[in-house]
Structure 1
């Protein structure tokens, strides 16, 4: 398996600096959301690796990360991911070399990515905020 850790790290650092240093904190927030969904995940908690969550969020425009309040940031990013003109099959991993979705071991399926986004919405809509 080929990976690109230097590119992943450099691109993550660039994203973070463009996002008022909110990128890593936001990725952690979405990973915690995945943990709250837990056993309710259609395909099991182990099938939503942290790496894929980070790469999914990497594809979100940096302006969505600039919200100060975590609730506003979570909702803004989720709304972006749900837009009709956003297609997970056109997204790349954070290294900007490998596709996010596909059939390879190092890729998420489009179904899993979209299902995870749906489950995030269900969690968010049922969350007391």
Structure 2
């Protein structure tokens, strides 16, 4: 995958970290099942510029989170670039309310354990 190579091999591990955090939040009852499908998490991180990856996993998480936090969410696309990542009522898109609930809890979860 070009994105993985262009991010100094940080992309795939960062996707896995975000998914593992999602799984832990589910197991702990912080978020409901189905709120953050794997495909959308990967797509979310795909939108982060390549230069935000690298240094350490902690630095990369923080740079990716900060980028997404400040990004124009209406411009985010799925990794296949064929659909918008966040749109209400579209079956190929992540519901913006579910995204926001996941993203907010992810930030809190990170702060609680870092």
Unaligned stretches of 5+ residues in structure 2: none
> What's 1:19 paired with?
7
Aligned-residue offset at 1:32:
0.5
Aligned-residue offset at 1:72:
1.3
Q: Please identify the structure whose Cα radius of gyration is greater.
A: 1
Structure 1: distance between partners of 2:110 and 2:14: 15
Unaligned stretches of 5+ residues in structure 1: 1-12
**1:75 matched to 2:65:** no
Aligned-residue offset at 1:81:
1.4
SS of residue matched to 1:45: coil
Cα RMSD between the aligned structures? 1.2
TM-score with structure 1 length normalisation? 0.80
**1:33 matched to 2:33:** no
TM-score with structure 2 length normalisation? 0.90
Aligned pair count reads 111
Higher relative contact order (CA 8 A, sep 6+): 1
CA deviations 1:37-92 (Å, max 9, x no partner) are 11211xx122211001000110111111122x211111111111112xx1222110
> What's 1:108 paired with?
94
